[in-house]
Amino acid sequence: MTAARSKSAGSATPPSIDAILNWPEMASLADRYGRVPLREAARDAARAIRQGRIGAEAEAVAQYCREKLGSGFAQSQRRVLNLTGTVLHTNLGRALLADEAAEAALTAMRYPANLEYDLDEGRRGERDLHIEPWLTRLTGAEAATAVNNNAGAVFLLLTALARGREVIVSRGELVEIGGSFRIPDIMREAGCTLVEVGTTNRTHLADYERAIGPETALIMKVHTSNYAVQGFTAAVSARELVALARGRGVPVVEDLGSGTIVDLRCFGLPHEPTAAESVAAGVDAVTFSGDKLLGGPQAGFIAGRRDLIRRIAKHPLKRALRLDKIRLAAIEATLKLYADPELLRTKLPTIALLARAPDAIAAAARRIHEALDAQFQQQGLRLDVEQCRSQIGSGALPLDLMPSWALTLRFERQRPQEGASLEALAQRLRALPVPVIGRLAEGRLWLDLRCLAADEEALLAQQLAALQP
C-alpha cells in the first residue's frame, strides 16, 4: 500500500480523486466503464467518506465505485421469463427471432453491408430489394415494400394513395388497437376523409356501392383482429368488394393487422387471414405486421399492385419510416424460413411456442413442482400444477385460447391482506436476476410455462428455489 493510501485508511478525510483513480483496484473499472464515469464515481465515494457512509480504505472505495457504476450502466432493457400465458406479449417485445434472423442482424451490425449498393452494377441500389423478392414470392403480390411497423404502413398507404380524398370503411371495422391507434384518427392525420358505411354489426355490399363517388380514392377493409362481433352480423368479403370496385375504378386495400403468410391450420391452430389470401382475392394492396404472427422483427409490410407500391415507395414519408440494415437483414432471414413451412415448427420460435404440445408443458411443470414443492411448503407457500389457457396476443385470434399448464403459487394460510401479499410475491419474482413475469388471477400467482424454453427450465427452478416469501 502506498503512503497516500496508508494515510487515508480509516480517516474521515478522503484521499484525492487523482489518488483514488491511480489505485490498482480501479484499473479494471477504468477499462470497463471509462475514466470519466470512474472519476464521477470517485467523487461520489469521496462524499460518502466525508459523510461517514463508507471507510476510506481502498477496498471499500473500490467496492462503492463498482456498485455505483454497475447500477448506473446496467441495461434498462433486460431479459425476462415470459410466463404470462401471452405468447406475443406487446409489453415483452412480441415475437422472438429465429437463430437465423438473429445471426443475420448481428452480421449487419458488425460489418459494412450493401444496404443500398448494387454489387453487380457497382452503383447505388434500393434497400427494399433485399426483402421484396421474398415478400412477393410468399404473398403472390406484384411488388412489396416495408416500413418500421404496421401502423406506419397504414399511414403511409393512406397518405400516398388517398390524401385529400375519401376512403370508404365499414363501421364494424373502425378498430382501435393498443396505444390508442384508431383508424378514424389515422385517416384524419393522413389527410383523408372517412366515409363510414353500414352499422357496427351489419354492412352490406349495397352500402359500399351507394358510398362510391367522384372523390372516392379507396375502399378499405380492416381485419378486426383484436375483437369479434358475433350474433346478428353481416360483412362483405374482400372478393365481393373487389368485384364491385373494379367496375368503378376504385382500388381496394386491406389492413390485416397482425397478419401472417402461412395457414396456421397446418400447425393445429385456428385460421387467421393471410396476405396471400388477400392478394388472391384481388385486393390491390394489403398491409400486415412483421413482429406478430410472422415471427420477425418489428416492421410493417405493404404488398400489392406494382403501380400502387411504386407510388407508395416514392412518397417522401417512406424515407421517414424506412427500415435500417439490421432489421432488413433479420426480416430477410425470417422470410426465407417460409420457403419450406415444415421448417417453421422447429426454426421459428413464434410457431414453435404456439404449436407446443400441452403434454410437454405439463411435464416441465411437474418436474419443477417435484423439485420445489417440499421447500415451498416449509415456507408457507402452496405450489400446484394446474391447467390453464394461453393466448396468442398482439390482437391475433382474441377468442381462441390454447390449452396449457402452469405453476400456481398461493399462501397456505389465509392472510388479512392476501392480495397485497401476492402482489409482493409477484414483485419479488420481478426482482430476480432474470425477472419472472406471471399473472395474478383467482387468488393465485400463475406461471404459464408455454413460453418457457427447455434450456430455461433449470434457470426458473434455480431462481424459484432462492425465492424468499
Give the per-residue pLDDT at 396: 62
End-to-end CA distance of the chain: 45
Instruction: Looking at the structure, tell me whether residues 319 and 408 fall in a common domain.
Output: no
Beta strands in 70-210 (DSSP E): 81-82, 117-118, 123-124, 143-147, 166-170, 176-177, 181-182, 193-197
Instruction: Looking at the structure, tell me whether residues 110 and 234 fall in a common domain.
Output: yes
Backbone angles phi, psi at 42, to 5 degrees: -65, -40
Give the per-residue pLDDT at 398: 60
188-214 confidence digits (pLDDT tens)? 999 999 999 998 889 999 999 999 999
Quickly state the pLDDT bin for 395 (edges 50, 70, 90): low
Identify which of 311, 314, 256, 321 has the alpha carbon closest to the alpha carbon of residue 283.
256
Q: In the listed set 301, 324, 347, which residue is the last one of a domain according to the structure? A: 347
Distance CA 1, CA 7 (A): 10
Instruction: Looking at the structure, tell me whether residues 438 and 377 fall in a common domain.
Output: yes
Quickly state the pLDDT bin for 387 (edges 50, 70, 90): very high
Look up the domain containing 106 and give its range. Answer: 99-347
Give the per-residue pLDDT at 457: 96
407-434 confidence digits (pLDDT tens)? 999 987 765 555 568 899 999 999 999 9
* Single-letter code of the amino acid located at 17: I
Global pTM reads 0.90
Q: Parallel, antiparallel, or unpaired for β 436-437 and 181-182?
A: unpaired
Of 48 and 180, the structure prediction assigns the larger pLDDT to 48
* Single-letter code of the amino acid located at 383: L
In-domain check, residue 119: yes
Other residues' Cβ atoms within 10 Å of the Cβ of residue 144: 26
In-domain check, residue 235: yes
Distance CA 429, CA 463 (A): 9
Are 157 and 312 spatial neighbours (Cβ–Cβ below 8 Å)? Answer: yes
Q: In the listed set 292, 325, 347, which residue is the last one of a domain according to the structure? A: 347
Question: Stretch 119-130: mean pLDDT, rounded?
Answer: 96
For the chain, the C-alpha Rg in angstroms (whole number) is 28
Mean pLDDT of the chain: 91
Identify which of 327, 257, 292, 297 has the alpha carbon closest to the alpha carbon of residue 90.
292
In-domain check, residue 157: yes
Q: Parallel, antiparallel, or unpaired for β 300-304 and 436-437?
A: unpaired
151-169 confidence digits (pLDDT tens)? 999 999 999 999 999 999 9
Strand partners, 164: none
Greatest Cα pair distance in the chain: 94
CATH number for 401: 3.90.1150.110
Instruction: Looking at the structure, tell me whether residues 374 and 436 fall in a common domain.
Output: yes
302-349 confidence digits (pLDDT tens)? 999 999 999 999 999 999 999 999 999 999 999 999 999 989 999 999
Instruction: Looking at the structure, tell me whether residues 168 and 314 fall in a common domain.
Output: yes
Identify which of 133, 135, 134, 139 has the alpha carbon closest to the alpha carbon of residue 275.
139
Question: Stretch 15-43: mean pLDDT, rounded?
Answer: 95
Instruction: Looking at the structure, tell me whether residues 360 and 439 fall in a common domain.
Output: yes
Backbone angles phi, psi at 23, to 5 degrees: -65, 140
Q: In the listed set 296, 320, 347, which residue is the last one of a domain according to the structure? A: 347
Other residues' Cβ atoms within 10 Å of the Cβ of residue 464: 21
Q: State percent of the chain over pLDDT 90.
A: 81
Distance CA 252, CA 168 (A): 10
Identify which of 37, 36, 91 has the alpha carbon closest to the alpha carbon of residue 66.
37
Instruction: Looking at the structure, tell me whether residues 222 and 264 fall in a common domain.
Output: yes
Distance CA 185, CA 19 (A): 61
Q: In what order do the strands lie in the sheet with 396-411?
A: 381-393, 396-411, 444-448, 439-441
Distance CA 133, CA 124 (A): 18
Q: For residue 301, give the H/E element and its range.
A: strand 300-304
38-64 confidence digits (pLDDT tens)? 999 999 999 999 999 999 999 999 999
Quickly state the pLDDT bin for 257 (edges 50, 70, 90): confident
Q: Among 5-19, 130-144, 385-399, 447-461, whose mean pLDDT is lowest?
A: 5-19
Give the per-residue pLDDT at 9: 44
Of 201 and 301, the structure prediction assigns the larger pLDDT to 301
In-domain check, residue 94: no
Number of alpha helices (DSSP H) and beta strands (DSSP E) in the chain: 20, 17
In-domain check, residue 174: yes
Are 139 and 368 spatial neighbours (Cβ–Cβ below 8 Å)? Answer: no
Give the per-residue pLDDT at 163: 97
**SS3 assignment, position 169:** strand
Distance CA 454, CA 33 (A): 35
Instruction: Looking at the structure, tell me whether residues 106 and 60 fall in a common domain.
Output: no
Residue 459, C-alpha cell as written in the block: 434457470
Instruction: Looking at the structure, tell me whether residues 62 and 183 fall in a common domain.
Output: no
Instruction: Looking at the structure, tell me whether residues 326 and 181 fall in a common domain.
Output: yes
Beta strands in 148-272 (DSSP E): 166-170, 176-177, 181-182, 193-197, 216-222, 252-255
Give the per-residue pLDDT at 226: 63
Per-residue buried b or exposed e for 392-418, using 16+ beta carbons within 10 Å of the residue's own CB: bbbbbbeeeebebbbbbbbbeeeeeee
Distance CA 37, CA 30 (A): 8
Are 114 and 288 spatial neighbours (Cβ–Cβ below 8 Å)? Answer: no
Give the per-residue pLDDT at 203: 92
